[in-house]
Amino acid sequence: MKMEELGKIIKRRRKVLGLTIRELANLTGTSKTTISQTERGVRNPTFEILQNIFEYLNLEMKVEVKKRKE
């Protein structure tokens, strides 16, 4: 998954929950700059930042062994 793709997931989820960038920034304790750039994939955020965002968007991250194509 590329950062750009992840950003879209975050943005979509934020919209579903009816949050603004500012609100999400306040909730997660980051800045709106970080949220905005993360959503657009022009940032390379740290794991901590991502986990924080996931928490308030009620998202969870999973890591699995990549499946081979059938």
* Beta-carbon contacts of residue 28 (< 8 Å; ≥ 6 apart): 35, 49, 52, 53, 55, 56
33 binds, among DNA, its own copies, none (CB under 5 to 8 A by kind): DNA
8 binds DNA (CB under 7 A): no
Binding mask of the shown chain, residues 3 to 42, with x at each position contacting its own copies by CB under 8 A: x--x--x---x-----------------------------
**CA quadruple 17, 11, 65, 60: dihedral, nearest 10:** -30
Using DSSP's 3-state secondary structure scheme, residue 1 falls into coil
66 binds its own copies (CB under 8 A): yes
Which residues form the interface with DNA (CB under 7 A)? 15, 20-22, 29-34, 36-40, 42-46, 48-49
